[in-house]
Amino acid sequence: MTVEGKENVTRDIVITGVALLLQGLTSYYFSSKCCESSSLSNDGSVDAALSKSMEPDPSTPFESFGFGLNVEVDFMWIDRINEGAGSAAYSSEPRLCLKPMGEIRLHPAATVLNYGQSLFEGMKAFRRVDGSIALFRPERNASRIKSGAARLLIPPIPENVFVKACNDLVRANAKWVPPYGKGALYLRPLLFGSGAALGVKPSTQYTFCIYCSPVGDYFKKGSDPKPIRLQAIEDYSRAAPGGVGSVKAAGNYAPCFKVQKEVKERGYDEALFLSVLGNGVIEEAGASNFFAVFPDNSIMTPSLGTILPGITRESVIELARNRFGCTVYERQLTLDDLKDASEAFCCGTGASITAVGSVNIASTEESIIFGEDGTTMGPLTKSIKESLLAIQMGTNAESNYSNWIHRIE
Ligand SMILES: Cc1ncc(COP(=O)(O)O)c(C=O)c1O
């Protein structure tokens, strides 16, 4: 071989090597940052969606929607990172992470499917009275999913990345945020182990996904919803000390389905879960936190530990204390304590604030009724509910709590 021939071969080897390296880097990049490859080329539509009008879709019957997947929205957020990549690997770039709404790909050996390494969140984007769109305290959801990630050994999402992802997803789907008073856009962030492996161990890859759906207004205008009837359950429990009751782990929810089904079959609306420690110590009502109101203007709610630290709970405590002058006790609350209560309510993102009319104790068949006959919402429950809604909807001069509102930009 001539010297020139050798140089050509060397040059070809170098070119091929560089090409292979680039190809490898590109496929690594897309396998770690992107996912559903059939939907990768939507950059143009992402830009367009982020600059489109924020008006609600005029032809959608938002007022007829219940809590469900009522329409197929335009975009979901989806980002994948590899184990060991660290929290800085989560992207906040909408052009990489906003994908057309649709199915996601998973290997059957994905850790989430086999071992339940999975967290979720629930949030609402509201259209306010001035037509703007806002999320309610999204940084609190960011902080909660971070605590959950630490508990389930999932690389945490930086809080600013979480909030920006929620903001950009709502912005891209702005036409699906119902008009003022006709519901909200419900956001469901998910964070789970999506890597494939047989061994019982943390995942090799993690997916951060947010999907959303317009949902109906829980409180229909002009009518107070009827207080719900709870049944306190002693033979099943939801959480135990040292477990994961205080984080929004997906695995906390399926074990409640059977209990909730049985409670509904007996004619009640929701289960009131009690502590495994016995003595009728109250924990949570389904997927919401529980409060009891007493005639001396004090309110009581179970202390944190095995229950979910609800963002609505935290907001109610603040409003009750500082707006309504209540004494708030976060402590052990028992079924016996309820006998002295004048009102009770549960609260959460889905239901906002729901009055509780009665609590039936399954083991004794005794019922504790609130108010005259358990059919009307108590006055403090009503005031707190209206105050919270006014802050979320911007209907009053609620400047004290403007930092609870994240405006979508
Ligand atoms: C078990 C449980 N408790 C309480 C809540 C209320 O939490 P938040 O007010 O943050 O929606 C929820 C809802 O997410 C929940 O799933």
Tell how far the Cα of 163 is from the centroid of ligand 1, in angstroms: 18
Tell how far the Cα of 346 is from the centroid of ligand 1, in angstroms: 10
User: Rounded to whole angstroms, how far apart are CA atoms 220 and 65?
Assistant: 11
Looking at the whole model, is its pTM more than 0.75? yes
Substitution candidate for ligand 1 out of 289, 316, 347, 354 with most atoms within 8 A of CB: 289
Nearest CA to ligand 1 atom 15: 287
Query: Which residues lie across from 124 on neighbouring strands?
Result: 186
Tell how far the Cα of 159 is from the centroid of ligand 1, in angstroms: 19
Q: Give the pLDDT confidence score for residue 398 in this predicted structure.
A: 61
- Burial class of residue 137 (count of CB atoms within 10 Å of its CB; 0-12, 13-18, 19+): buried
Q: Is the CB of 111 under 6 A from ligand 1?
A: no
User: Rounded to whole angstroms, how far apart are CA atoms 20 and 33?
Assistant: 19
User: What is the number of the ligand 1 atom nearest to the C-alpha of 122?
Assistant: 14
Tell how far the Cα of 144 is from the centroid of ligand 1, in angstroms: 11
User: Rounded to whole angstroms, how far apart are CA atoms 280 and 302?
Assistant: 12
Residue with token string 């945490």: 156
Nearest CA to ligand 1 atom 5: 288
CATH topology of domain 228-394: D-amino Acid Aminotransferase; Chain A, domain 2 (3.20.10)
Tell how far the Cα of 289 is from the centroid of ligand 1, in angstroms: 6
Nearest CA to ligand 1 atom 4: 288
Q: Is the CB of 178 under 6 A from ligand 1?
A: no
Q: Are 189 and 208 in contact (CB under 8 A)?
A: yes
User: What is the number of the ligand 1 atom nearest to the C-alpha of 252?
Assistant: 1
Active-site residue, 248 included: yes
pLDDT tens series, the chain, 409 aa:
444 444 554 455 444 444 444 444 433 343 444 445 444 445 558 888 888 889 999 999 999 999 999 999 999 999 999 988 888 899 999 999 999 999 999 999 999 999 999 999 999 999 999 999 999 999 999 999 999 999 999 999 999 999 999 999 999 999 999 999 999 999 999 999 999 999 999 999 999 999 999 998 654 444 567 899 999 999 999 999 999 999 999 999 999 999 999 999 999 999 999 999 999 999 999 999 999 999 999 999 999 999 999 999 999 999 999 999 999 999 999 999 999 999 999 999 987 999 999 999 998 999 999 998 999 999 999 999 999 999 999 998 667 899 999 999 8
Domain residue ranges in the chain: 28-215, 228-394
Pinpoint the alpha helices (H) of 34-154: 43-51, 94-97, 111-115, 138-151
Substitution candidate for ligand 1 out of 288, 316, 319 with most atoms within 8 A of CB: 288
Q: Is the CB of 260 under 6 A from ligand 1?
A: no
Domain with residues 28-215, CATH architecture: 2-Layer Sandwich (3.30)
- Burial class of residue 261 (count of CB atoms within 10 Å of its CB; 0-12, 13-18, 19+): exposed
70 C-beta neighbours (distance < 10 Å), count: 20
Q: Is the CB of 289 under 6 A from ligand 1?
A: yes
Tell how far the Cα of 22 is from the centroid of ligand 1, in angstroms: 46
Name the phi and psi angles at 301, rounded to 5: -140, 145
- Distances from the Cα of 97 to the Cα of 76, 93, 154, 210, 211, angstroms: 8, 6, 19, 10, 12
Substitution candidate for ligand 1 out of 304, 308, 311, 313 with most atoms within 8 A of CB: 308
Q: Are 119 and 392 in contact (CB under 8 A)?
A: no
Q: Give the pLDDT confidence score for residue 45 in this predicted structure.
A: 81
Q: Is the CB of 239 under 6 A from ligand 1?
A: no
User: What is the number of the ligand 1 atom nearest to the C-alpha of 350?
Assistant: 11
Tell how far the Cα of 353 is from the centroid of ligand 1, in angstroms: 11
Q: Are 159 and 146 in contact (CB under 8 A)?
A: yes
Q: Are 355 and 362 in contact (CB under 8 A)?
A: no
User: Rounded to whole angstroms, how far apart are CA atoms 287 and 289?
Assistant: 7
Assigned token pair, 334: 């028992």
Nearest CA to ligand 1 atom 6: 348
Supply the DSSP symbol for 276. T
Q: Are 271 and 231 in contact (CB under 8 A)?
A: yes
As a whole number of angstroms, the longest Cα–Cα distance in the chain is: 104
Sign of CA dihedral 283, 379, 312, 122: positive
Query: Which residues lie across from 196 on neighbouring strands?
Result: 110
Q: Is the CB of 213 under 6 A from ligand 1?
A: no
Task: Determine which one of 33, 146, 248, 385 is catalytic.
Answer: 248
Kindly give the pairing relationship between strand 282-285 and strand 327-330. unpaired
